[in-house]
Chain A
Amino acid sequence: AQSVTQPDIHITVSEGASLELRCNYSYGATPYLFWYVQSPGQGLQLLLKYFSGDTLVQGIKGFEAEFKRSQSSFNLRKPSVHWSDAAEYFCAVGATGANNLFFGTGTRLTVIP
C-alpha cells in the first residue's frame, strides 16, 4: 500500500526567501505524485504533478518539484516566497494516475514580512 510522509508540520519563512517542502512516499511501483495547496476553509488546488519523464516538474505560481526515485522523495521548491503563498501544502501519491490519491498530513507554511 502507498503512504506519504511530510516530515514538517509547520514551516515559517521570510518573504523573499527560498522554500523547500519535503515529501517522501512509499509505493512499490512507479508512483504518480502530486502537490496541492489549500487556503483556509478552501478546497485544494493542484500545483504540479509528476507522471513520468523529466524528473524536474514545473508548476503554477513559480513552484517546482523534483522526483528522486533513489530517495523516494518529491520535494516542492520555490526560489522566492510571497506572502500569498501562506497556506497548507499537501503531497499526494496515486497508484493509477489521479485515481485513489493518498495524501500526506500536510505542511503549514507561514510567511513573515
Chain B
Amino acid sequence: GAGVSQSPSNKVTEKGKDVELRCDPISGHTALYWYRQSLGQGLEFLIYFQGNSAPDKSGLPSDRFSAERTGGSVSTLTIQRTQQEDSAVYLCASSPRGGDDTEAFFGQGTRLTVV
C-alpha cells in the first residue's frame, strides 16, 4: 500500500489476555519502529528493527512486551497478560534505511483499551 498500515485500528481486551498488533510498513523500507502514545505520557519509543533484527529494544516497558519482524516486512507487537496501564495508542513507523536524519512515516495507530 501507499502508507504504513496498522491493524486492528481499535482493540478492546480484558485484563490478563494477550494481544497482537500488526504493522505493514511501506514497501522497501528497511527500518521499522514501534511507539506508544499514552495520555499524559506523550510518545514513547518501544523498539526499532533494521531488517529482521532489533538492535534497540531499550524502550520495551516490561518482559510482557515482545516484537518480531519477518521477511524484512510485517511486524507484530505482542503484549502478554495485558494490564490496564497498557491502554494506549500503539504507533508503527517505517523509514527507507533508518539513520538519525531520515524521515519516519507513521501509521494511524492501534488504540488498545484494556478493561
The answer to whether A and B interact is: no
Chain A residues with a Cβ under 8 A of chain B = none
Chain B residues with a Cβ under 8 A of chain A = none
